[in-house]
Amino acid sequence: MQNFSLSPDGKEYNLPTPEDDQKELAIIKEITCQQRSSGRKIVAVQGMGFVGCVMAAVVADAVDPQGNPLYFVHGQQRPSLRSYWKVPVINSGHSPVNSSDPEIPGIFKRTVLEKKTFRATWLNQVYELADIVVVDIQLDATKPAFGDAAKGYCDLSAFRDGIRTLGERIRPDCLILVETTVPPGACEKVIKPIIEAEFEKRGIDTEKFPPLIAHSYERVMPGNNYVRSIRNFWRVYSGIDDRSKTMAREFLSNIIDVENYPLTEVDNTNASELAKVMENSYRAVNIALTLEWAKFAEQIGVNLHQIRKAIRKRQGTHDNMLRPSLGVGGYCLTKDPVLANWSMSAIFDLPGSLDMAISAVNINDTMPAHTLELVHQHFPRLNDIKVTVLGISYLEELGDTRHSPSETLIRLLNENWAIVKAHDPYVEYWPEMENVIIRPDLENAVKDAEVIIFAVGHNEYTNLDPDHLLRMCLYKPLIVDCSNFICNLKIKRYIELGCTVTGVGKGHINYLRTARH
């Protein structure tokens, strides 16, 4: 049986033994005692994922007006085969996430090694020591049928287990601040009853000590502004009672630049939960609209990206029109409309559905099939055709592959018997697609490719010189641009070099081809 956790860079970290548990418990108790004697509050962050680990670092970096640290942070990560490696990586002063944000290496080194205000652990006992617990555990939506998001649902079992662990251990005066995106109604109808039940099992009078629960959703943008999107960004929050609201406001005001990014308090946690899923549903609908029109533009010879640029000139009403692309990925837009739709019946027992939001998810989920259609226009049969996909993360300058549309595209290519290679400068290991070999260098990835798909706009790809790419490729491939990553000048050069070029929303390419003569 495997007794180690494998990190994305291939390093093995032995899983903790019972003896390690005892040593670790002594360490966290000693550290907590020292930190309390220094006047700092203790924060435990539940879950060291893409949001939790950086949130923990930001909290640990917070200081008072005199420059003294306000909090000590225990970052808790379950000791599973897949995730335990994050604990030793963080405790070495390194980030467990790969990002282009230059602040990431500095904030982990500063808080872990220099300030010593942040430490990761696998033990649940840290919750017993905490004044505040920030919940950043994963809560996903399951979509059992491809392109039919109306059948999607939320499995709360793992989330409930995580909340139950808190109820078993936290002090009655500990604030639970939920950052995880949850279906509307979760704090009042799921979390609160669990905490109350666990308090009562422990003999805690919930009339005297009602659970302190607040919700404040993150708007993390894990790219160049990863840290800033937590510390220097607007927050919406609420609580299940006035005391919870007050405690949440005080905590958030200490870690966020509220002078420039004021907090917004809403009436209750149902409202703050709904705000998050509606916010992302709006974006999903926006993208779905542009994807739909991209197909139209391709058929009538129009460059939709030029049209979008022209429309966005209308400041205040149309300047937020998003771009068409390979599809929508990541942890929010792909699931948040589904969480909201599911909560209507499952949590609130209401009739009806969020039809527009669900339709948008369906369009976005199936959009990679359109890129496949563009390839099929030039290769009706893909049997043994060599295809290279450039970019497998869901966003440029980021190593997050969760719900990446490149995953859907590669699955479709494999189903059509293509020979697929993938490359991404930010991804060394692809947990969702373990059977896909990620080529570590670009030259090896594109060599002999008959089709090259620009799937993600990493700078390494958008800066590629056509002549250099073809020298590496040793072929004249079909070039597919999924989201205006290649400018007209480079498209013309690819055509001059003998390549065929196509792209999502780029119906004008035929005009570029004829214009060169």
Distance, in Å, from the CA atom of 173 to the CA atom of 199, rounded to the nearest integer, reads 12
**H-helix or E-strand spanning residue 488:** helix 488-496
Per-residue pLDDT of the chain (517 residues; tens, 9 = 90+): 568 888 877 788 989 999 999 999 999 999 999 999 999 999 999 999 989 999 999 999 999 999 999 999 999 999 988 899 999 999 999 999 887 889 999 999 999 999 999 999 999 999 999 999 999 998 888 889 888 999 999 999 999 999 999 999 999 999 999 999 999 999 999 999 999 999 999 999 999 999 999 999 988 887 788 899 999 999 999 999 999 999 999 999 999 999 999 999 999 999 999 999 999 999 999 999 998 899 999 999 999 999 999 999 999 999 999 989 998 887 787 889 999 999 999 999 999 999 999 999 999 999 999 999 999 999 999 999 999 999 999 888 888 888 899 999 999 999 999 999 999 998 887 877 877 778 789 999 999 999 999 999 999 999 999 999 999 998 899 999 999 999 999 999 999 999 999 999 999 998 887 765 4
What pLDDT is recorded for position 1?
Answer: 52
Residue 17 burial (C-beta neighbours within 10 Å; 0-12, 13-18, 19+): exposed
pTM of the model: 0.89
The CATH number of 4-271 is which of 2.40.110.10, 3.30.70.380, 3.20.20.10, 3.40.50.720? 3.40.50.720
What pLDDT is recorded for position 190?
Answer: 97
Residue 102 burial (C-beta neighbours within 10 Å; 0-12, 13-18, 19+): exposed
Question: In 3D, which of 475, 476, 440 has the Cα closest to residue 460?
Answer: 440
Measured between alpha carbons, how far is residue 158 from residues 100, 133, 139, 313 in Å? Answer: 31, 17, 8, 46
Distance, in Å, from the CA atom of 147 to the CA atom of 143, rounded to the nearest integer, reads 9
Q: What is the secondary structure of 379-439 as a DSSP string?
A: -S--TT-EEEEE--SSSTTB---TT-HHHHHHHHHHHTT-EEEEE-TT-S--GGGTTSPBP
What pLDDT is recorded for position 2?
Answer: 65
> For residues 75 and 26, is the Cβ–Cβ distance under 8 A?
no
> For residues 229 and 220, is the Cβ–Cβ distance under 8 A?
yes
Distance, in Å, from the CA atom of 46 to the CA atom of 120, rounded to the nearest integer, reads 10
Distance, in Å, from the CA atom of 183 to the CA atom of 337, rounded to the nearest integer, reads 9
Distance, in Å, from the CA atom of 458 to the CA atom of 200, rounded to the nearest integer, reads 52
The neighbour count for residue 264, using CB atoms within 10 Å, is 13
Distance, in Å, from the CA atom of 374 to the CA atom of 434, rounded to the nearest integer, reads 27
Question: In 3D, which of 153, 154, 240 has the Cα closest to residue 193?
Answer: 240
What pLDDT is recorded for position 332?
Answer: 81
Distance, in Å, from the CA atom of 59 to the CA atom of 111, rounded to the nearest integer, reads 9
Only one residue has tokens 């004829």, namely 514
What is residue 150's DSSP assignment?
G
> For residues 325 and 504, is the Cβ–Cβ distance under 8 A?
yes
Domain with CATH 3.40.50.720 in the chain: 4-271, 367-515
What pLDDT is recorded for position 390?
Answer: 97
Distance, in Å, from the CA atom of 479 to the CA atom of 42, rounded to the nearest integer, reads 53
Q: Burial letters for 348-378: b for 16+ Cβ neighbours within 10 Å, e otherwise?
A: eeeeeebeebbbbbbbbbbbbebbbebbeee
Q: What are 41's two structure tokens?
A: 């509050």
Question: In 3D, which of 366, 213, 360, 348 has the Cα closest to residue 278?
Answer: 360
Distance, in Å, from the CA atom of 297 to the CA atom of 292, rounded to the nearest integer, reads 9
Cα 123–129–135 angle (5° rounding)? 65
List residues bridging with 265 in a β-sheet. Answer: 237
**H-helix or E-strand spanning residue 68:** none
Cα dihedral 244, 136, 155, 349 sign: positive
What pLDDT is recorded for position 437?
Answer: 74
List residues bridging with 73 in a β-sheet. Answer: 43, 118
What is residue 507's DSSP assignment?
T
Q: Which fold has domain 367-515?
A: Rossmann fold (3.40.50)
**Coil, strand or helix at 332:** coil
Q: Give the distance from CA 192 to its chain's centroid.
A: 26
Q: What's the full length of the chain, in residues?
A: 517
